[in-house]
Amino acid sequence: QWKQLAECKLSQIKLKRKIDSKKEERQMDNMGMDFNLMDYEKLSSLKEYYTDKITEREIEITEVNQKMAAMDEKLNIARDQLKLKELETEQERMRLQRISFELNKKRANLSRVKATKHATERNTAKIKQQSGLLAYPTLLKDYEAKSQEIRELSEQSERLRTTFRDGVVRIRKLREAIKKRTKGNYSLASSSVCNTS
């Protein structure tokens, strides 16, 4: 759109220049004998000045057109990249949608498997409860062995308790004996100090 406007403006300037040139020629024809060399030089100088100005403007317009073309190119590249990104995003969205669908399906399957597992566990527990230790021969043997071991350990523990109690009694008696001796020694020491003084 900007490019079309710039081209239209350039065409308008060129057309105006042609019209001005034609007008100038007519004026020169109408002047006839009254026209002198000084006026001609003045007009030529003005014409050259305006021609230069028009050329400058045309160069500026060309530069603007080039910039606009470059911007259009960049915009097209950006647009293509955006389309590519949109396509990639759509593909990624579809992939995630598929993954989500698969995940929901697996979740539903997992829930069914869990429900079946819990039901099986409940049935197994019920059967075991009804069967008692008979359902576990190995466990029954282990139970007997452990019971024997517990009895032996209990007896050993009781012996250790008795030994510990005896030890505590002995220690208490020793402490009392030491206390009495210390007290007797202190009394002797005190009386000897009094006699010396």
Task: Decide: pTM greater than 0.85.
Answer: no
Residue with structure tokens 């389309």?
A: 83
Pick from 152, 3, 154: which is nearest to 75 by CA? 3
Greater confidence, 33 or 153? 153
Q: Is the pLDDT of residue 135 over 70?
A: no
Backbone angles phi, psi at 196, to 5 degrees: -65, -40
Contact by Cβ (8 Å): 90, 39:
no
Is the pLDDT at 83 greater than 90, yes or no? yes
Per residue in 68-81, pLDDT (tens digit) is 888 888 989 999 99
* DSSP tag of 33: G
Phi, psi of 60, rounded to the nearest 5 degrees = -60, -45
To the nearest 10 degrees (0 to 180), the angle between helices 2-31 and 37-131 is 180
Report pLDDT digits (tens) over 8-56.
766 777 777 777 776 766 665 555 545 555 566 677 777 778 777 877 7
Distance CA 80, CA 77 (A): 5
